[in-house]
């Protein structure tokens, strides 16, 4: 799955990765401020923000817009998991 994601990201440029960073930051700030309470809410916010920021129209979805939205959503989730993994490695439980 990661190889497919990298292939899509290289094929459609860095626009999806840029949106992924923006979505990650927005979901993170929403979680800190209490707008998103749990992990399920964060996942929903991730998908919704990715669709909104990339301009995906649900009534007329074009393939490039949909792929950029998917890249933004998956990229944000992968970056979040990478941050969690790095944090666990750097700060092992005592």
pLDDT in tens, 45-90: 888 888 888 777 777 766 677 777 777 887 888 888 888 888 888 8
pTM given for the model: 0.68
Asked whether 19 and 54 are in contact (CB, 8 A), the reply is: yes
For residue 56, what pLDDT is reported?
A: 78
Q: Please give the Cα distance from 66 to 58 (Å, whole number).
A: 9
Burial of 41 (C-beta count, 10 Å sphere; 0-12/13-18/19+): middle
* Gyration radius (Cα) of the chain, Å: 14
Domain map (residue ranges) of the chain: 2-90
CA distance 28 to 44: 13
Strands (E), the chain: none
CA distance 9 to 12: 5
- The full length of the chain comes to 94
pLDDT given for residue 63 in this prediction: 66
Percentage of residues in the chain having pLDDT higher than 70:
85
């Amino acid at each position: 799955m990661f190889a497919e994601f990298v292939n899509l990201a290289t094929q459609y440029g860095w626009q999806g990765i840029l949106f992924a960073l923006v979505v990650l930051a927005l979901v993170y700030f929403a979680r800190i401020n209490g707008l998103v309470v749990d992990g399920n809410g964060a996942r929903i916010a991730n998908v919704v923000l990715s669709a909104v920021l990339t301009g995906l129209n649900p009534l007329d979805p074009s393939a490039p817009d949909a792929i950029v939205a998917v890249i933004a959503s998956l990229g944000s989730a992968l970056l979040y998991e990478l941050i969690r993994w790095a944090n666990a490695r750097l700060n092992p439980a005592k």
